[in-house]
Amino acid sequence: MTEKEKMLNSQMYNAMGEKQLRNERCSVKNLCREYNNLPFEDEETQKILIKKIVGSTKENFYITAPFWCDYGYNIELGENFYSNHNMVILDCAKVKFGDNVFVAPNCGFYTAGHPVDYPRRNAGFEYAYPITVGDNVWIGGGVQVMPGVTIGSNVVIGGGSVVVKDIPSDCVAVGNPCKPIRKITDEDMKTCFDKSMNK
């Protein structure tokens, strides 16, 4: 089994030990650099490049530069996807976004992790577990999503949260570690700011 096959099957693998993986990372990072250097108003070329970078998109999406990823082909963007500046996706495993996902600035989605024991870590081994984000999700500024996490649909993740465990649908979740703090209700239609996310 190749290191890439191990990576895609959530097994321990050596990311630096296989030329194919190194070449794929270099290729997509050069595309990301090209994307990040485009004129802001050149939305047509931006869309063409993102379609080259990520595995799949639907019709409407927008990623505000700068944007970086590891491989690109493991990323799936749903309809009406939007991310603000400085999104980083370490897509050594699948990262799937549902429809109507809004990502604030400085957010990271990290499928990659390293062994706790230093001998394997120092030898270059890592693992990758998929991340899934449901429909109608707003991810606040500076949120970091860790390997293997599933975020349900109709969720708000408060700014600065570190998401290390699954988050159920229909809730506001916040904190480090991120935890649900309340359900989203019809009362939320009457306000424009949720003070509970500041707790």
pLDDT, tens digit (0-9, with 9 covering 90-100), for 72-85: 999 999 999 999 99
Contact 186, 170 (CB under 8 A): no
Q: Is 114 a catalytic residue?
A: yes
Enumerate the β-bridge partners of residue 75.
Answer: 95
State the average pLDDT for the chain.
95
Q: How confident is the model at residue 97 (pLDDT cuts 50, 70, 90)?
A: very high
Model pTM score: 0.93
On the question of pLDDT at 193 being above 70, the answer is no
Q: Please tell me whether the peptide bond between 168 and the residue prior to it is cis, using omega within 30 degrees of 0.
A: no
Q: Give per-residue pLDDT as tens, 42-72.
A: 999 999 999 999 999 999 999 999 999 999 9
Distances 20 to 15, 31, 71, 88, 178 between C-alpha atoms, Å: 10, 17, 11, 22, 36
Residue 87 has pLDDT above 80, yes or no: yes
Report how far residue 4's alpha carbon sits from residue 14's, in angstroms, rounded to the nearest whole number: 9
Confidence label for 15 from pLDDT (cuts 50, 70 and 90): confident
Q: How many residues does the chain have?
A: 199
Paired sense of beta strands 179-183 and 162-163, if any? unpaired
Alpha carbons 156 and 137: distance in angstroms, whole number: 6
Task: Kindly list the structural domains of the chain, giving each domain's residue range(s) and its CATH number in brackets, ordered by start.
Answer: 3-187 (2.160.10.10)
Q: Which amino acid is at 157?
A: I
Q: Which residues pair with 61 in a beta bridge?
A: 81
Q: Of these residues, 114, 120, 179, 182, which one is catalytic?
A: 114
pLDDT greater at residue 170 or residue 17: 170
In percent, the amount of the chain with pLDDT more than 70 equals 96
Instruction: Express each pLDDT in 108-137 by its tens digit.
Output: 999 999 999 999 999 999 999 999 999 999
Residue 122: count of CB within 10 angstroms of its CB: 10
Q: For residues 16-24, give the mean pLDDT.
A: 91
Q: Residues 76, 98: contact at Cβ < 8 Å?
A: no
Does the structure show a pLDDT above 80 at 194? Answer: no
Q: Answer yes or no: are the C-beta atoms of 139 and 101 closer than 8 Å.
A: yes
